[in-house]
Chain A
Amino acid sequence: MDMLLDLVARLGRTTLGLIRAAGSLTLFALSGLSHLVRPPFYGRVFLSTFLETGFFSLPVVALTALFSGGVIALQSYTGFAQYHVQSAIAGIVVLAVTRELGPVLAGLMVAGRVGAAMAAEIGTMRVTDQVDALTTLSTNPMKYLVAPRLLAGIIALPLLVLVADVLGVAGGFTVSVVKLGFSPHAYITATLNSVKVIDVTVGLVKAALFGFLIALMGCYYGYNSKGGAEGVGTATTSAVVAASILLLAFDYLLTDLFFSQ
């Protein structure tokens, strides 16, 4: 009986903890978003975060997309050759890249690179009193630290995904033409015939949401970190893990919403 009660108590505590964390995260997100539309705005912080999130993530996102496009072309060819439908490869590559791989891979790369950096930077500021110092210097930390990062994530990731889309298709094209002997003209024609505006648009919408989630997790865990270096390390790990899981979960939900029929 005691064991059962203990189990129920633990379950209750865990559930309450989850509800509390979800509430806290929601309030944090709403507060961060509300500061996006209320002055003062910190353009310099936004610009530097935007460059860090977008421009400096370009190489890693570009390489990931390029190789992924190539891999899809190769794998598709292996499977489709058995049924003599190799001509579908161009369509498969462009749809996979624009709808899924572009946003998801760019999101995961940025989560690992930028989400972690955001959590570490804000976490270090928290444990060294720099966040409190902002408050004493007439500066709202949510406005100065969080809002510009959320905006940078929302804007930078769709731009990265556009680049990833182009390079992913280019990777598939290169492998198909150079290695698999496709005609360049036929491949490009098949690609253009397969892709629709909605495919790219939904990919960009996903990217904007992923950018928001990555920045939100980085800021939230960094802002609430405590306990010195260990706390900052934990916050960084949690930010990346939470962002990656949320990203994949929302990817499923958006895919279901836009493409399930």
Chain B
Amino acid sequence: MTGTLPKIRIRDLHKSFGSKKVLDGINLDVMPGTSFVIIGGSGSGKSVLLRCILGLIIPDSGSIEIDGEDMLTASPRRQDVLRGKIGMLFQNGALFDSLPVWENVTFGLLALKRLTRKEGRSHAGSILAQVGLDPSVGELYPSELSGGMQKRVGLARAIAAQPDILFFDEPTTGLDPIMGAVIDGLIVDCVKKLGSTAIAITHDMASAQRIGDDAAMLYKGQLIWKGPASALMDSGNAMVDQFTHGRREGPITMELRR
């Protein structure tokens, strides 16, 4: 029975900032072990959706269930437990500048006292190796790393606690195509190895198809299409097709000042 229970279940989720509606009745089921990609233009509400699931932003209404437990009505302690199931790769890495890489990677494990600092230092080396980095990188500080290395360290930090759920916020943004493909490959490997459920948000179509099993498109706060990620480039939905092919003409009009 538990095999049919969605890992993440979102119902009628609404969020506005002032008069701007960012999420407008989102309904979404993400099944265990699947990799779900959400595409959409800048400002379409993708990041806000992820942050609502993480509890970083409180939605105006609706429900967010993780393993059948409502995140929004759970006690703060339970929310912490549910949040502990999630690993997150932030768009810009969000590495802690003041800490060396090894401490960034094992930060969550040290916080939960699952490791001592001595163990953390050596454990970080093995996690860094999983994302293709030499363990010696652990002694560097984030400011000494390239953009691609920062993303890898961010990925290492996200998978360090072996979470049930992984979120990726525009994982390839700012990277060259080859490094983007490398990061996507690492994401797929990590998700498969951990058996995690993943949600990635992106507007990089190549990345979306590499990472995702299923996909959806968010437009003006609503999920206007859901389907297999392999069908993204030929979805049959005029809006999705315009977006994925990057056409100027179509039903989506950019709100530009003429």
Residue of A nearest to B87 (CB): A136
Residue of B nearest to A132 (CB): B56
Contact of B54 among A130, A136, A139 (CB under 8 A): A136
B111–A130 contact, CB under 8 A?
A: no
Cα A138 to Cα B110 in complex, Å, equals 10
- Provided the pairs A129-B90, A129-B91 are in contact, do residues A135 and B96 lie with their beta carbons within 8 angstroms? no
Which among A40, A137, A139 has the greatest number of chain B C-beta atoms within 10 A?
A137
Residue of B nearest to A130 (CB): B94
Query: At the interface, yes or no: B195 with Cβ under 8 Å from chain A?
Result: no
Contacts of B98 in A (CB 8 A): 121
User: A91 → chain B, closest Cβ, in Å?
Assistant: 46
Cα A125 to Cα B111 in complex, Å, equals 18
Contact of A132 among B51, B80, B95 (CB under 8 A): B51
Query: At the interface, yes or no: A27 with Cβ under 8 Å from chain B?
Result: no
Query: At the interface, yes or no: A128 with Cβ under 8 Å from chain B?
Result: yes
- Provided the pairs A138-B80, A138-B84 are in contact, do residues A133 and B90 lie with their beta carbons within 8 angstroms? yes
Contacts of A133 in B (CB 8 A): 88, 90, 94-96
Cα A206 to Cα B86 in complex, Å, equals 45
Q: Which of A112-126 contact B (CB under 8 A)?
A: 121, 124-125
Query: At the interface, yes or no: B97 with Cβ under 8 Å from chain A?
Result: yes
Cα A139 to Cα B96 in complex, Å, equals 13
- B contacts with A, residue count (CB < 8 A): 24
Contact of B97 among A130, A132, A139 (CB under 8 A): A130
Contacts of A135 in B (CB 8 A): 54-56, 83
Residue of B nearest to A133 (CB): B94
Contacts of A40 in B (CB 8 A): 111, 113
A136–B96 contact, CB under 8 A?
A: no
Contact of A139 among B87, B95, B107, B157 (CB under 8 A): B107
Cα A139 to Cα B91 in complex, Å, equals 20
A139–B111 contact, CB under 8 A?
A: yes
Main secondary structure of the interface of A (DSSP, over half): helix
Contacts of A137 in B (CB 8 A): 107-108, 111, 157
Contacts of B88 in A (CB 8 A): 133, 136
B112–A129 contact, CB under 8 A?
A: no
Contacts of A128 in B (CB 8 A): 92, 94
Residue of B nearest to A140 (CB): B80
- Provided the pairs A130-B97, A132-B51, A133-B96 are in contact, do residues A138 and B108 lie with their beta carbons within 8 angstroms? yes
Contacts of A130 in B (CB 8 A): 94-97
Per-position binary interface string of chain A over residues 136-166, scored 1 when its CB falls under 8 Å from any chain B CB and 0 otherwise: 1111000000000000000000000000000
Residue of A nearest to B57 (CB): A132
Contacts of A121 in B (CB 8 A): 98
Cα A121 to Cα B97 in complex, Å, equals 10
Residue of A nearest to B98 (CB): A121
Residue of B nearest to A42 (CB): B111
User: B101 → chain A, closest Cβ, in Å?
Assistant: 14
B108–A132 contact, CB under 8 A?
A: no
Contacts of B111 in A (CB 8 A): 40, 137-139
B112–A138 contact, CB under 8 A?
A: yes
Q: Which of B5-58 contact A (CB under 8 A)?
A: 51, 54-56
A136–B92 contact, CB under 8 A?
A: no
Residue of B nearest to A44 (CB): B117
Contacts of B90 in A (CB 8 A): 129, 132-133
Cα A124 to Cα B94 in complex, Å, equals 10
User: A142 → chain B, closest Cβ, in Å?
Assistant: 12
Residue of A nearest to B154 (CB): A133
Cα A138 to Cα B90 in complex, Å, equals 15
- Provided the pairs A130-B96, A130-B97 are in contact, do residues A136 and B83 lie with their beta carbons within 8 angstroms? yes
- Chain A residues packing against B (C-beta within 8 Å): 40, 121, 124-125, 128-130, 132-133, 135-139
Instruction: Supply 27 A–B pairs (Cβ within 8 Å), ascending by A.
Output: A40-B111, A121-B98, A124-B97, A128-B92, A128-B94, A129-B92, A130-B94, A130-B96, A130-B97, A132-B51, A132-B54, A132-B90, A133-B88, A133-B90, A133-B94, A133-B95, A135-B56, A136-B54, A136-B87, A137-B108, A137-B157, A138-B84, A138-B108, A138-B111, A138-B112, A139-B107, A139-B108
Known: A132-B54, A137-B108. 7 other contacts (CB 8 A): A128-B92, A128-B94, A129-B90, A133-B90, A136-B88, A137-B107, A139-B111
Please provide the 4 A-B residue pairs with the shortest distance between their CB atoms, ordered closest to farther. A129-B94, A137-B108, A133-B94, A136-B88
- Chain B residues packing against A (C-beta within 8 Å): 51, 54-56, 80, 83-84, 86-88, 90-92, 94-98, 107-108, 111-113, 157
